[in-house]
């Protein structure tokens, strides 16, 4: 078997994030005897599930040639309003259902606002979502008077802290969404159109693809994933901080997508790659904590990983 056949079989571009995850898993298990403990693995998966869910929606946005910097601030705003709705209706099971519905609607509204500004207003995605990031965070601080949103419910935390068959509920939700989005991206007309728009918008338009509608839908999808993450995060803590909630979520979500093999220029990408990218970030953070590395330096490591992933993608192209 020649070298070209081996490279084709391994397909580094498609499975590169998986290979990186396996290598990192092996190195981490050798570096710390506590890494392979079941509770530690579950903690890693729980931690990455919040940004991982957002990253799944972000994958569609980046493949379509856009970006969303407002997801962290939107998480805080939606999480806070969900708690207000929960408290308003009494905090029991019925109130939780109403609060979740409110959160999903807010997610769609937030995504629609970004999509409208970008597609109808013709504002660059970076600028548009940078502006809404400031708006969403400002509204969160105003509504809470720069304080915390605290739930009165004793049932609500069971959603974020609960588990099914020993696996945290947020992890199940992330896996279910990943499976659904993978089918949408690879088996539906919308998935093909997203890749076409991100690859070459002009050609896609000549092919009678409604490019603006495709991009608008991608922002609706990321808005829904933000709402899901906000509900899970607020239920886990039974509160939401107006200043810290969702902080740097946009960085982690974008990093997971890039590390997973989706180029920032758009046009291609995979949902499993995004999941692997989110887990890679989680393992890196976990190992830095275990090795006693200062938390102030963890951002440096994360930044180097992002830059490295982009450089590798550029070299491939």
Beta strands in the chain, from DSSP E residues, in sequence order: 148-150, 163-164, 167-168, 239-241
What's residue 14's pLDDT? 61
Residues of the chain with pLDDT under 50: 1-2, 5-10
pTM score? 0.90
Q: 240: helix, coil or strand?
A: strand
Domain extents in the chain: 37-316
- Note the residue count of the chain: 317
Q: Which CATH code fits 37-316?
A: 1.10.3470
Dump pLDDT digits (tens) for 245-263. 888 899 899 989 998 888 8
């Amino acid at each position: 078997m020649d070298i070209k056949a081996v490279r084709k079989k391994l397909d580094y571009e498609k499975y590169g994030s998986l290979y990186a995850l396996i290598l990192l898993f092996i190195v981490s298990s050798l570096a710390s005897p506590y890494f392979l403990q079941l509770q530690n693995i579950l903690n890693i998966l729980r931690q990455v599930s919040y940004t991982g869910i957002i990253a799944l929606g972000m994958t569609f946005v980046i493949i379509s040639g856009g970006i969303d910097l407002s997801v962290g601030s939107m998480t805080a705003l939606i999480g806070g309003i969900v708690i207000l709705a929960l408290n308003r209706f009494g905090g029991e099971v019925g109130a939780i259902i109403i609060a979740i519905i409110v959160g999903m609607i807010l997610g769609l509204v937030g995504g629609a606002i970004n999509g409208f500004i970008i597609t109808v207003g013709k504002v660059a995605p970076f600028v548009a979502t940078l502006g809404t990031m400031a708006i969403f965070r400002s509204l969160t601080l105003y509504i809470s008077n720069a304080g915390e949103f605290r739930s009165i419910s004793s049932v609500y935390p069971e959603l974020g802290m609960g588990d099914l068959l020993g696996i945290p509920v947020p992890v199940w939700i992330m896996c279910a969404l990943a499976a659904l989005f993978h089918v949408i991206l690879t088996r539906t007309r919308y998935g093909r159109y997203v890749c076409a728009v991100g690859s070459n918008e002009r050609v896609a338009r000549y092919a009678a693809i409604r490019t603006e509608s495709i991009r608008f839908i991608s922002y609706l999808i990321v808005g829904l994933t933000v709402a899901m993450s906000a509900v899970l995060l607020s239920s886990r803590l039974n509160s939401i901080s107006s200043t810290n909630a969702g902080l740097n979520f946009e960085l982690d979500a974008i990093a997971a997508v890039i590390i997973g093999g989706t180029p920032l220029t758009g046009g291609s990408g995979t949902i499993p790659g995004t999941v692997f990218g989110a887990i890679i970030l989680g393992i890196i953070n976990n190992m830095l904590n275990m090795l006693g590395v200062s938390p102030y330096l963890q951002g440096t490591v994360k930044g180097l990983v992002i830059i490295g992933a982009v450089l590798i993608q550029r070299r491939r192209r």
